[in-house]
Structure 1
Amino acid sequence: MPTLYHAPNSRSTSILVLIEEMGIADRIDVVEVTVARQDGNGGPDPRNPHPEGKVPYLTDGEDHVRERGAIIAYLTDRFPETALGRPVGHPQRGTFLSWLFYYQGVMEPVLVHDWATIDHPILHATFRDLEAVFARLAEALDSQPYLLGEDYSAVDLLLSSPFQWLPDAMPEQPALRGWIRRCADRPAFHAVMAREQAGLRR
């Protein structure tokens, strides 16, 4: 059985939402671990096999997967019947993978640099800037409710996830705000967030 190493209220929460959306909670073992937090709390957990002590981290037998985009691709490929991904041979397979890699390679670095108020022409040339990222998202959502069309998918989950945690970073464009609200207003998202908050109150 695949095992997800997860720290509550962290980047790995989005993988819990994915598992809930896919309806595969009974087929994934979730192990809660501690991680070093930005406020100085927490720290490495010896139970976590991630080589840098981070989450999320997925193990499946001898195979190990890190980085959210890779974990999303792995799980949606492993359980294609859930229809949250785009399997090999699907006409949107390339678009699906492109959005996953765009998030990891462009969007998250741009958001982190903006949040840290780090600005340099090389960063703009390499990763673009927030305006360019928002323009790319707005272009994709101009005539459809989700990034791949009429139906919500795992790329919507991943690319909307930072705005659930950093509402101040939310773009002004109505189309993007509507998309972010749609992605957050899903039973799986609400169920996972309720469990995460209940865990914090224990």
Structure 2
Amino acid sequence: MTTDRVTLYHSPNTRSSSALLLLEELGAPYDLHVLDMRAGENRQPAYLAVNPMGKVPAIRHGEALVTEQPAIFIYLADLFPEAGLAPPLGDPLRGPYLRWMVYYGSCFEPAVVDKARELDAGPQAMSPYGSFEAVMGVVNDQLRRGPYLLGERFSAADVLWGMALAWTTMFKLVPETPEIAAYIARHTERPAVARVRERDAALAAGQSAAA
């Protein structure tokens, strides 16, 4: 187990909440560097030096600085192998695990954002995801085999997707099919989810009080 603490650059109730959830699921030693995005702290020079895109999450671990949510998940789950949330190299599930990590950022998020903005996916040969319906078809087909993305094995990919599907269905960006609803229910039952929600609520309340 690594002895270095992980610093998570975090803003409550954003994409970085899923990274916070992963740290909790891993039992990792971490510190939070909390940003108030409503006050524009993520656009200040200090944070732009961490992530020029001004986005969260980002993590610092020793000399390593990692941005982009799937990369952070892959890095952290491999960093704490004793938690058993990442199939190791040589495991037959390693490839499918990586597939679902990358599919999230390369297909799911672009498709959801385009759908929400009522934008066309673009020509098939140029679109990174094809169509929204195709993306969601793949997700639902996999969840139908459940209970998790890797079958019976819960992994860091489920931490990522559980949070993402809970948020996107809540805001009606993704249809809540029976498969997705059941998957979200399993996600919500995990004790770490309640801990993160409580912590985010307290952080958000503190930011509102300071505004």
Classify the TM-score, shorter chain: 0.7 to 0.9
Say what the alpha-carbon RMSD is for the aligned residues: 1.9
Contact 2:149 2:157 (8 Å CA) reproduced: yes
Structure 2, unaligned runs of 5 or more: 207-211
- TM-score for the superposition, normalised by structure 2: 0.84
Match runs of 1:118-157 below 5 Å:
118-122=119-123, 125-157=127-159
User: Could you say which residue in structure 1 is the equivalent of 2:198?
Assistant: 194
Separation of aligned partners in 1, 2:193 and 2:141: 25
Q: Which amino acid aligns with 1:128?
A: G
Contact 1:17 1:192 (8 Å CA) reproduced: yes
- TM-score for the superposition, normalised by structure 1: 0.88
Separation of aligned partners in 2, 1:174 and 1:163: 12
Q: Which amino acid aligns with 2:89?
A: V
Contact 1:56 1:66 (8 Å CA) reproduced: yes
Contact 2:97 2:150 (8 Å CA) reproduced: yes
Q: Aligned pair 1:181/2:181, yes or no?
A: no
In structure 2, the CA distance between the partners of 1:190 and 1:45, relative to structure 1 (3 Å rule), is: farther
Contact 2:121 2:131 (8 Å CA) reproduced: no
For residue 125 of structure 1, report the CA deviation from its aligned partner.
4.2
User: Could you say which residue in structure 2 is the equivalent of 1:12?
Assistant: 16
SS of the aligned residue for 1:10 comes to: coil
For residue 56 of structure 1, report the CA deviation from its aligned partner.
0.7
Separation of aligned partners in 2, 1:142 and 1:191: 28
In structure 2, the CA distance between the partners of 1:199 and 1:126, relative to structure 1 (3 Å rule), is: closer
Paired residue for 2:40, among 22, 25, 42?
42
User: Could you say which residue in structure 2 is the equivalent of 1:116?
Assistant: 117
User: Could you say which residue in structure 2 is the equivalent of 1:164?
Assistant: 166
Contact 2:111 2:121 (8 Å CA) reproduced: no
Contact 2:165 2:180 (8 Å CA) reproduced: no
Match runs of 1:73-88 below 5 Å:
73-88=74-89
Q: Which amino acid aligns with 2:40?
A: G
Q: Aligned pair 1:57/2:62, yes or no?
A: no
SS of the aligned residue for 1:31 comes to: strand
Separation of aligned partners in 1, 2:158 and 2:190: 12
Moved more, 116-125 or 190-199: 116-125
SS of the aligned residue for 2:75 comes to: helix
Separation of aligned partners in 2, 1:78 and 1:191: 22
Q: Which amino acid aligns with 1:108?
A: E
Q: Which amino acid aligns with 1:13?
A: S
SS of the aligned residue for 1:169 comes to: coil
For residue 31 of structure 1, report the CA deviation from its aligned partner.
1.0
User: Could you say which residue in structure 1 is the equivalent of 2:209?
Assistant: none
For residue 169 of structure 1, report the CA deviation from its aligned partner.
2.3
